[in-house]
Amino acid sequence: MVMKESYDWILNRLPYTEPFLYVEEISYVNDKGAEGSYRFSPDAHFYKGHFKNNPVTPGVLLTECCAQIGLVCLGIHLLGKETKLENITIGMSSSQMEFLLPVFPGECVRVVSELVYYRFQKLKCEVKMYDEDDKLVCKGVLAGMIDTGNE
Amino acid sequence: MLKEEKYQKLKDIIKIYLPEDVAVTDIEQDSHFMNHLNINSANLVDIVLDVEDAFDIRLENEDMEKMQTVNDAMAIIDTKLAAK
């Protein structure tokens, strides 16, 4: 039996917390990409305002979810286990997204990212988000700077 | 490749990443990428990657650290091309 690799060390290093943590589970992370999932809680506060009487998950949060799973989890893996959490500084530098389907309250989404490059502290990925029926919800290219600051 | 040709090639790459408040004509040999041309660190990486493709060279972390001005970039390109 193959033991499923634990990615808790990555989850523990994510520099986010509620109400802005958009990673629930990581299915895999390797040098080429990452996959993980997140369920948008039907009680999330933003559904009250987006939109009036018609709750739909905002595109910026789908982008954020793609970035946290696809870019940041992958970035932490690439930096390696030895890196101390307090030394990690990150920032999104560009995002180019296309949105194809709405995500409603309570839906679980799956994000798959593929590394484009990681050089000179810049991490660029192609990301895709799927809904529970494996239909493509959004896709795009995200990039960010991720640094350990101890050089 | 002539120096002028190299400089032009480099300028053509830089201009793609200039912010809206900086004009191509603002690019001088001694321009500092971040301080004068307002290019951020993320776009500086893009410039380096484009330079690598355009000149068929590879830059290392220490080259990146040295690359502060347009002149620095020219010098690094020359060194890398000479070492080929």
DSSP assigned state of A83: S
Are residues A56 and A50 in contact, defined by beta-carbon separation less than 8 angstroms?
yes
Looking at residue A147, its pLDDT comes to 81
CA distance A96 to chain B (A): 15
H-only helix segments in A49-97:
59-66, 74-79
Is residue A136 domain-resident? yes
Is residue A105 domain-resident? yes
Is residue A2 domain-resident? no
Q: Tell me, yes or no, if B64 comes closer than 8 A to chain A by beta carbon.
A: yes
Average pLDDT over residues B11-20: 96
Range of the domain at A121: 8-147
Which candidate in A50, A122, A124, A128 is catalytic? A50
State the residue for tokens 């080929």: B84
Is residue A3 domain-resident? no
Is residue A94 domain-resident? yes
CA distance B65 to chain A (A): 9
Query: For chain A, how many structural domains are there in total?
Result: 1
Residue B25 has pLDDT above 80, yes or no: yes
Average pLDDT over residues A123-142: 98
DSSP assigned state of B25: G
Is residue A1 domain-resident? no
Q: Residue A111's domain is classified under what CATH number? A: 3.10.129.10
Summarised one tens digit per residue, pLDDT across range A19-48 is 999 999 999 999 999 999 999 999 999 999
Annotation says A50 is catalytic: yes
CA distance B60 to chain A (A): 8
Beta pairing class for A25-30 and A108-119: unpaired
Query: For chain B, how many structural domains are there in total?
Result: 1
What is this model's ipTM? 0.84
- What is the percent of chain A with per-residue pLDDT over 90, rounded to a whole number? 83
Q: Do B45 and A94 touch (CB under 8 A)?
A: no
Separation of alpha carbons B48 and B53, rounded Å: 9
Separation of alpha carbons B27 and A118, rounded Å: 28
Average pLDDT over residues B42-69: 95
User: What is the CB neighbour count within 10 angstroms for residue A121?
Assistant: 21
Residue B41: closest CA among chain A residues belongs to which residue? A145
Average pLDDT over residues B59-79: 94
Q: Tell me, yes or no, if B34 comes closer than 8 A to chain A by beta carbon.
A: no
Looking at residue A1, its pLDDT comes to 56
Confidence class for position A151, pLDDT limits 50, 70, 90: very low
Is residue A106 domain-resident? yes
Q: Residue B20's domain is classified under what CATH number? A: 1.10.1200.10
Question: Mapped to the 3 state alphabet, what secondary structure does A11-61 carry?
Answer: HHHCCCCCCCCCCCEEEEEECCEEEEEEECCCCCHHHHCCCCCCCCCCHHH
Average pLDDT over residues A99-119: 97
Task: List beta partners, residue A119.
Answer: A122
Range of the domain at B27: 3-82
Residue B53 has pLDDT above 60, yes or no: yes
Q: Tell me, yes or no, if A96 comes closer than 8 A to chain B by beta carbon.
A: no
